[in-house]
Amino acid sequence: MRAGVIHEMRLGILIMAAGKGTRLHSKRAKVLHEIGGRPLLDHVIAAAARVVAPHDIFAIVGHQAEAVETAVRSCGVRFVRQEDQRGTGHAVQCAEEATRDYDELIVLSGDVPLLQPETIIALRDFHLRQQAAMTILTASPKNPVGYGRVVRRKADAPEVTAIVEQKALTPEQEQIREINSGIYAFRRSALYAHIGHLRPDNAHREFYLTDLARILAAAGERIVAIEAEDPNEVLGANTIAEMMDLDREMRSSAARRLMAQGVTIFRPETVVIDPAVEVGPDTVIEPYVQLLGGTRVGSDCRIRSYSVLDRASIGDHVLIRNSCVIAESQIDKGAEVGPFAHIRPGCHIGEGAHIGNFVETKKTRLGAGSKANHLSYLGDAQIGRGVNIGAGAITCNYDGVGKHETIIEDRVFIGTDSALVAPLVIGEGAYVGAGSVITDNVPADALALGRARQTNKQHWAKNRRALLESRRAETKK
């Protein structure tokens, strides 16, 4: 069966994403604003791609078209340009040529990002069963203000006679609670036979796709509506405040899912958890934690307040203390990190290892049981097992031009406040004396001292005090 073909019917999905988003007052195109850590359009494409192949998805782009295309190109969808944005009806009109090969079209809005694939499938199946020319996905949210309202032929009958935009509602129609979600299914032939009849005779001087309900009904075509089971799924985002409502909904549903799987989240309304995050049972997440991207956390961990984990992979029994920043790195079982540690991309902290306060690591492997407990920078370093990095030790990995690697073998002891000038190999079991500047490799089991030798001057302080006191006595005379 060819992708997009269902019961010998060819189905394509259009996503309207060309609008400017005037009500956002933002320089960025609306569909590129992020909720749940990803652009609005990304969420809509992900849902559509669970119903048809990416090749059968057409994103209609216009405002900041290049930026929008670049942001989602890797999804494999196709693009249709709407050069001037003259309304939702005009957007769909622009896709006529591109969608020639399809029998049925589902139209989604790029700014309705919580929509689930199951709901698109329910819309498709209802549309086909009803043999309708147009099927409208509707909802009855608590507050319908701002949405177009759906006028049914009779309450409880599936047939629709019109969609009326907020600004055109009669006082009587203002009582209607059923809204147009901006999501539709069309028999393609009926859609394009009538789309040329749209007129911009409305408050915004735009071609409204919604007017097709009235036009098709008047032409004797069958227009029906199906109500979404969960009205939250079809909430749109026209302002930043509405977008943040959707973001909160998405993140709190991620928190609820994790709690249902045995994760303890204190004050869940304060945490920010992206939808793809996974956390094992009996892990405790404290207030104001952020778990972002595809972060994975094992079981029996504790993530203390104010820590931000972005695309991190955390084993079981790990303790992340307060205010750590961990990105694109792996922390193995039983390790302890923080407080106030910065684990930058490309790090691997081994089993049972400790990273303490004010330690920054980048592209560094710290072997099992090794410790860097205080005030260090470890960059481009391969550090073995059972190593102790003293307070304030620094890998000097950058010479102003290139980056160089530091290799510290198993059971090495790096004294406090050492500067390790890379490239460098410190052999197994070696010692580096505190305060050393190490510029040459250190053989295994050696002691390296890279500092001026200490000299003690006997009685120097006492003699100086005596001298100063006798001078003062002279001047008083």
Per the CB < 8 A criterion, the answer to whether 179 and 144 are in contact is yes
Task: Decide: is 332 part of the binding site for Ca ion (CB under 5 A).
Answer: no
Task: Decide: is 111 part of the binding site for Ca ion (CB under 5 A).
Answer: yes
Q: Which of 42, 56, 104, 111 binds ligand UD1 (CB under 6 A)?
A: 111
From 7, 348, 374, 459, the catalytic residue:
374
Q: Work out how close the CB of 65 gets to ligand UD1 at its nearest, in angstroms, rounded to a whole number.
A: 11
The residue (of 179 and 228) whose beta carbon lies closer to ligand UD1 is 179
Amino acid, single-letter form, for residue 132 = A
Kind of pairing between the strands at 365-366 and 381-383? parallel
Q: Work out how close the CB of 147 gets to ligand UD1 at its nearest, in angstroms, rounded to a whole number.
A: 4
**DSSP letter at 372?**
E
Kind of pairing between the strands at 278-279 and 149-152? unpaired
In angstroms, rounded to a whole number, what is the distance separating the alpha carbons of residues 201 and 211? 10
Joined together, the tokens standing for residue 398 give 């950058």
Task: Decide: is 77 part of the binding site for ligand UD1 (CB under 6 A).
Answer: no
Kind of pairing between the strands at 354-357 and 371-374? parallel
Q: Work out how close the CB of 171 gets to Ca ion at its nearest, in angstroms, rounded to a whole number.
A: 24
Per the CB < 8 A criterion, the answer to whether 56 and 104 are in contact is no
Q: Work out how close the CB of 236 gets to Ca ion at its nearest, in angstroms, rounded to a whole number.
A: 4
Q: Work out how close the CB of 238 gets to ligand UD1 at its nearest, in angstroms, rounded to a whole number.
A: 5
Name the segment binding ligand UD1 (CB under 6 A); options: 88-96, 251-259, 324-332, 354-362. 88-96
Task: Decide: is 246 part of the binding site for ligand UD1 (CB under 6 A).
Answer: no
Kind of pairing between the strands at 419-421 and 437-438? parallel
Q: Which does 163 bind (CB under 5 to 8 A by kind): ligand UD1, Ca ion, none?
A: ligand UD1
Per the CB < 8 A criterion, the answer to whether 116 and 128 are in contact is no
The residue (of 9 and 203) whose beta carbon lies closer to Ca ion is 203
- What is the SS3 assignment for 345? coil
Q: Which of 184, 208, 306, 377 binds ligand UD1 (CB under 6 A)?
A: 208
Per the CB < 8 A criterion, the answer to whether 318 and 301 are in contact is yes
Q: Which of 110, 158, 231, 384 binds ligand UD1 (CB under 6 A)?
A: 110
User: Is 63 one of the annotated active-site residues of the chain?
Assistant: no
| CA 263, chain centre distance (Å) | 21
- Residues 22-61, one symbol each (x = binds ligand UD1 by CB under 6 A, - = not), give --------x-----------------------------x-
How would you label 175-188 residue by residue, b for 16+ Cβ within 10 Å and e otherwise?
ebbbbbbbbbbbbb
Show the DSSP H helices in 98-237 as ranges.
117-129, 188-194, 211-218
List residues near ligand UD1 by CB under 6 A.
Answer: 16-19, 30, 60, 82, 85-88, 90-91, 109-112, 147-148, 163, 165, 179-182, 208-210, 236, 238
Positions marked active-site: 374
List residues near Ca ion by CB under 5 A.
Answer: 111, 236, 238
